[in-house]
Structure formats: structure tokens, C-alpha cells
Amino acid sequence: MEIARYVDNNWHHYCIRDERVSETLFTSVEEYKQTTANKKISYIQDFKQTDNSIEILEQKIRQHLEISDHVYVGLGEPILMYKDKKHGWDHEHNCWEGPFYYTDDFINKFNPEDNVTFFANAISHVKLNRPMHYLNDMFFESRHIYDSYEVCKDLLRKLENKWNKKYYWELMCSNNVNLYHMLKKHLVDKKTFSTCHKLGISHWGPDVIKPKIKNSGAETFSEDNNIRCSDLIDPSIYNESFYSCVVETAIPEDNRLSLFSEKQAKPVVTQRPFIIVGTKGHLKAFRSLGFKTFAPVIDESYDDEPDVEKRFTMILDAMNKLCEQDPREVYNKLRPVLEYNYKHFYNHNWNSELMQAWFTPSLLSE
């Protein structure tokens, strides 16, 4: 069977641009339309996650549904958050009117019979019209950056195995101002090293690379790879704290989607206990990927709480409760889970659906 593949210039996964099929690849839509191949497959990706780019992405998908047997879409930003322009412009707040829509709303714009399949570094908690396969992009370059790149391996070598640390927890609140203010009123604050980029409270140790333009850490620092500043483990933080409380950037208040990122990958790689600040069911979604979590050593009942502020309070309470235990005992109890997660992260056959969509597209598109 002769297959023609259209590959969007935005497509991130260069690893699947297989030289053995280079003659079947098209980046020009007009040339792709003219091919007489028996099967046409399109691969499209978006990273911008703006109202305009999401509108363009939908148009591009629908265009390719008309000319391809199947369309595969990589969501570089797993949690789409946008407004529909049909509601008009809100001049008072300088944005589009109407409610915010999310990834599931976008996917459900397509009918169950449409030949489109999505990939994202997230798990949906609601029903979708079309499949969304999990894509492990926790480290955007690859999950092997800490055993492949010297800049990352050097950070691991600087981690100290000691029990006289200043803090129990490290908590980078990122843009979550509400969580930061709640932390400052809680007993666990004195036992926690914390930052909040949104408030201009940041920390970049001497061993890591600070973003040049923005303080979020999401930018890459080399033309040779896609390693981001936020992918770098900071020894100045890890060497002064025992545990991590990781805060996902996007937390839909209706708990419809759980995102996974470098925030979970870093403590997994360093075999460090952690709590996830995310949606209701975030830990359940994490376990659905084959990982284990830390109950009953850590009170994880917060994962069942639907109200976001109550969930935050329960998380801070769980952090404070763990501080009552000797960290050596905590690590001894959790060692099997930490080692299991480390091995699972590196050895599991991740992204098999994506590779199947490339090497044997008929298996997913029929």
C-alpha cells in the first residue's frame, strides 16, 4: 500500500520523521492534495494555545479531514483554554465574551465518526467524541534528558544525600497566587521553601539556567534541543528540602482534565516523595498511567475533593502532617514506590499509540 504523509511544520516529534519514508512526506498542502497514494495520513500540531491559534487549528483539521483518510493531532499545550468568538467582544474586560472552553470542548466539536485522533500529555475525566491518547511529554525533549545530556547529569551529581535540611517541603506556586496566599497563612509555611512567579517571588540557583525573557521557566535555552529551564532540577532547592509539592500550571476548576509535566518528572527522576496540586482525581489519573502514589504515608484524601479551595487546604494539612515524621523513616517506607516509579518512567513503552500512528497508521485509522 502506498501511503502519503502530510507533516505539519509545527509537529514536535521529529523522532518519527523516519528517513525510510522521507519520499512519502509532504509539508505543502497543495502538493499533498495532488498525490495519488492509496492512503493519506495527516499529522498536525499546535503549541500557541491562543483563541486565534485554536480557531486556525480547527480549520486545519477540518481541511485535512476532507483530503486525508485520517488526521492525527498533537496538542502541544494539553489544556486548551479559549473563548468562542461568536459571543462577541467584551470591551469592559478586553477579551471575548462568553464562557471559557477547554480541551474536551474542542475535541467534542468533532463527531464520533470523524477520522481524527488526538494526542496530549493529559488525561480527560469526561467523555470525548474522539480518542485522546496519552503522550508522555513531561520532559519536552525526551524522558531521557537526565541520562543523555551533560547539563542535566551534572545537576544530579550535585544533589546531596543528607538529613540536616532547612525545610521539609519545596513548593513552587508558579502563577497560583491563591495557593501561595493560603500557604502563607498555614502552619506548614515555616517548613516550606516557596516561590510564586506571578508575584515576582522567584528563585534560580547558581547551577541552573534562568530564563532570559520570562520568569515562567518554560523557554528553551539551546538551539540543539528542546530542554526548558523548568526541566532543570535545582540543587539549591532540593538540597535544602525533603519533599516536593508540585503545582500544575492549569487546573480546570470543574476537574475535567489532568495535566502532567516536568513538575512530576523531576521528583520521579530523583526518587523524591511529592504531592500534586491539580484537579480532583489527579492522583487517580497519575496511577492510571502506571505510576504509584504515596498513601498511606502521605494523606492523599485531598484527591477526592471537588472544591479547589478545600482541596488546597487539605493538601497543606497533609504536608504539615508529614512533617511530624522523621524523613528517614518516610524514605524507608516509600523506597519501594520511589524505585518503582523511577523504573516505570524510564522503562515503560510510552507513546505506543503515537508510534503506531506513524509506522502502522491503518491500525488506528480504520
Q: Average of pLDDT values for 124-152?
A: 94
pLDDT value of position 366: 40
Same structural domain, 307 and 185: yes
Residues 55 and 162 in one domain: no
- Residues 236 and 313 placed together within one structural domain of the fold: yes
DSSP H helices, 127-281, are: 145-148, 150-157, 177-184, 235-238, 262-269
Given 107, 135, 163, the domain boundary residue is 135
Check whether residue 120 and residue 195 sit in a common domain.
no
Strands 169-172 and 243-247: parallel
pLDDT digits (tens, 9 = 90+) for 1-54: 788 889 888 776 655 556 666 677 888 999 999 998 889 999 998 888 787 889
Report the percentage of the chain scoring pLDDT > 90: 69
Pairing of strands 39-46, 100-102: unpaired
* Angle, helix 177-184 to helix 308-322, in steps of 10 degrees: 50
* 184 within some domain: yes
Instruction: Give the sheet arrangement for strand 25-26, strand by strand.
Output: 25-26, 3-7, 39-46, 70-75, 116-120, 132-134
Kindly report the backbone phi and psi dihedral angles of residue 234, in degrees, each rounded to the nearest multiple of 5, phi listed first: -100, 105
DSSP reduced 3-state for 126 = coil
pLDDT score at 17: 57
Q: What is the mean pLDDT of residues 269-280?
A: 97
In-domain check, residue 110? yes
pLDDT at position 361 is 61
Domain-embedded: residue 84: yes
Note whether 83 and 158 are same-domain residues: no
Residues 245 and 115 in one domain: no
- 363, pLDDT greater than 50: no
- The model's pLDDT over 46-78, given as tens digits with 9 standing for 90+, comes to 888 787 889 999 999 999 999 999 999 999 888
pTM: 0.90
Same domain, 188 and 126: no
Considering the domain boundaries, does residue 77 fall inside one? yes
Per-residue model confidence (pLDDT) at position 362? 53
Alpha-carbon 253 to chain mean position: 17
Residues 230 and 320 in one domain: yes
pLDDT band at 285; cut points 50, 70, 90: very high
- Same domain for 179 and 328? yes
The upper half-sphere exposure of residue 133, i.e. CA atoms within 13 Å in the direction of its Cβ, equals: 17
pLDDT (tens digit, 9 = 90+) per residue, 335-357?
999 999 999 999 999 988 888 88
182 and 328 co-located in one domain: yes
Domain-embedded: residue 218: yes
Residues 6+ apart with CB under 8 A from 59: none
126, 160: one domain: no
Residue 99 has pLDDT above 90, yes or no: no
Domain total of the chain: 2
Tell me if 225 is assigned to some domain: yes
Expressed as residue numbers, the domain containing 23 is: 3-135
- Grid coordinates belonging to 318: 497533609
Contact predicate 282/276, CB 8 Å: yes
Question: Is pLDDT larger for residue 226 or for residue 246?
Answer: 246
List of residues 6+ apart from 34 with CB closer than 8 A: none
For residue 18, what pLDDT is reported?
62
360 belongs to a structural domain: no
Based on the domain organization, do 245 and 116 belong to the same domain? no
For residues 198-210, average pLDDT:
93
pLDDT of residue 276: 97
Band of pLDDT at residue 365, cut at 50, 70 and 90: very low
Final residue belonging to a domain, choices 103, 135, 167:
135
* 82 is a domain residue: yes
- Looking at 77, 108, 135, which one is the last position of a domain? 135
